[in-house]
Chains A and B, each alone.
Chain A
Amino acid sequence: MIELKDIHVTFNKGTPLETPALRGVDFKVPTGQFVTVIGSNGAGKSTSLNVLAGIVPVERGTVTLGGEDITNWPVHKRARMISRVFQDPKIGTCEDLTILENFALAHGRTAPRGIRFAIERSMRAATAERVKVLGLGLENRLDDKVGLLSGGQRQAVSLLMATTGQSSVLLLDEHTAALDPKTADFVLETTRTIVERLGLTAVMVTHSMAQALSTGERTVMFHRGKIIFDASGKERAGMKVEDLLHLFKKTQGEELSDDNLLLG
């Protein structure tokens, strides 16, 4: 289980650029749950994921993982339990290293790294098998530098890397946003399959309401640094995009003003 308790984050505090990004976020994800997150630009979705991953320090509040307070843990220490796929395919993989070396790096997230060769035969075989499932022919390019791959291929590799080893929480921040629609569908479908197969606790930020409602088992909406809506089970099952918009208008007294959110 991963939990944010009364999280407050303000960027550039005490300067004219002061931006309150999170204003008291309470967000609890039980083990094995797949949650989707929506909200307009600047609502605080990415900041919440960054707080979970440890990239953004909190001003107030606590982050717990499996009951343990990890609020002050550095990013690399949390990475053993929390893995992520970034929006930008360039961030998730290291382009100067080969596909295999990237997987070796990801392997080291949960297994000890050492003064042994990073790549042995068993890893090559295991990696080939895993990337083969993608059907992109990457199993024949294991020694190619990742910089030679397309954005979609890199994102697929990022996803497999993030689900290497036994870290239990997967954070996805609009990880299909930079891809063309077809590739995006493919990566999303792969995400669903992997999360289900490994029984991961997953949090996925998306800009598509339809996608949010059709993926995972729960949807939360952020607005101005707070969670304003949280639906799961039957309530969510019968929900359509129009219902979401209506609900937003009712609770916030304004129209949702984000064209991206309305699409699809």
Chain B
Amino acid sequence: MSLYELLGTLETGFVFGLVALGAYLTFRILDFPDLTVEGSFPLGAAVCAALIVTLGWNPWLATGVAAVAGFAAGWTTAYLNVRFNILHILAGILLAISLYSINLRIMGGPNEPLLGVDTVFDTFGGFGVAGYVISPIFLGAVTLTVLILINLFLHTGWGIAMRAAGANPSMAQANGINVGSMKLFGVGLANAMTALAGALFAQIFGAADAYMGIGVIIVGLASVIVGTSLLPSRTILQATLACIAGAVLYRFAVALALNADFLGLRASDVQLVTAVLVALALIGQVSGIGIKRFFKTSKPK
């Protein structure tokens, strides 16, 4: 693996670190398995690209609006669940499917190239360092900032209310917490982070694509599962750091698998590799708690 490839892998690892933090928030904190991310990741990319290319917006502003759009998507999923009692997983699938069509509308086609326009990465053009060195540093800083903000938030009055709403809804209600509002806000927040990741991803690769959301949910989960089973994750700080580390490790695992010539894998095999990795992680995970229980049925005695 060349230095160039290494930095590139690090770059996508950090971007998916944001997705992993979102998955941590929904799956672990809120106990809400959220599949909206399959749609909100490309939504972030589509909104950002359309604003920059079609409307000539400032890339930073466009990236911010992309995150807001992601929030709206997550909020809608939670609303379907809270207000109309639609099963969380199904609500997420409904949103992901409708976002597929919405994204095509936003971009006016299956993709939107970001050619010849300024992206957030062009802001650092004048520093005299090559872009491929700057961008992983920048993305690492973004992801760490989000991590710190989440850690701070989860220790505020609202933050512990959100943790209680996920961990013990009866107790949360009895303590005056509106559990529904917490879900709306939390799932919204997680999708804002995912859409932010999508917007940054599109700017790295120079295009937004309607299909770029496929498998995002699994990548997020893989990062959380791999990270928290390999690294200590007792405190929130440890767990969130583990999620980001998991995302980076996961990208390296994929890159290595694709690079290993003897395996004979192609780039298009990424989804299969991901799914196999997640399945292996689930099989290997010892503890019965956490994410696993959503996806494994209990063993017949």
Say if the beta carbon of A84 comes within 8 Å of chain B. Answer: yes
CA distance A114 to B155 in the complex (A): 11
CB neighbors of B among A88-146 (8 A): 91-97, 101, 104-106, 108-110, 112-119
Say if the beta carbon of B161 comes within 8 Å of chain A. Answer: yes
Say if the beta carbon of A76 comes within 8 Å of chain B. Answer: yes
Provide the B145-171 mask, 1 if CB < 8 A to any CB of A, else 0.
Answer: 000000001011111110110011011
Which 3 residue pairs spanning A and B have beta carbons closest together? A113-B157, A79-B176, A109-B176
Say if the beta carbon of B255 comes within 8 Å of chain A. Answer: no
Q: Closest B-chain residue to A93, C-beta based?
A: B171
Say if the beta carbon of B115 comes within 8 Å of chain A. Answer: no
B176 touches A118 (CB 8 A): no
Choose one: A83, A94, A96, A114; the contact of B158 (CB below 8 Å). A114
A115 touches B157 (CB 8 A): yes
A97–chain B nearest beta-carbon distance, Å: 6
Residues of A within 8 A of B101 (CB): none
B95–chain A nearest beta-carbon distance, Å: 25
Residues of B within 8 A of A104 (CB): 157, 160
Say if the beta carbon of A200 comes within 8 Å of chain B. Answer: no
Please give the number of chain B residues whose Cβ is less than 8 angstroms from any Cβ of chain A in the complex.
Answer: 22
Size category, A interface: 20 to 34
Say if the beta carbon of A231 comes within 8 Å of chain B. Answer: no
B156 touches A105 (CB 8 A): no
Residues of A within 8 A of B163 (CB): 94, 96-97, 101
Say if the beta carbon of B270 comes within 8 Å of chain A. Answer: no
Choose one: B156, B167, B175; the contact of A109 (CB below 8 Å). B175
Q: List 24 A-B contacts (CB under 8 A).
A: A53-B174, A76-B173, A76-B177, A76-B178, A76-B179, A77-B176, A79-B175, A92-B171, A92-B174, A93-B168, A94-B164, A95-B167, A96-B167, A97-B163, A105-B164, A105-B175, A105-B177, A106-B175, A109-B175, A113-B158, A114-B157, A115-B156, A117-B157, A118-B157
CA distance A74 to B178 in the complex (A): 9
A76 touches B168 (CB 8 A): no
B144–chain A nearest beta-carbon distance, Å: 20
A94 touches B171 (CB 8 A): yes
A116 touches B157 (CB 8 A): yes
Provide the A17-52 mask, 1 if CB < 8 A to any CB of B, else 0.
Answer: 000000000000000000000000000000000000
Residue from A76, A101, A108 whose CB has the most chain B CB atoms within 10 Å: A76
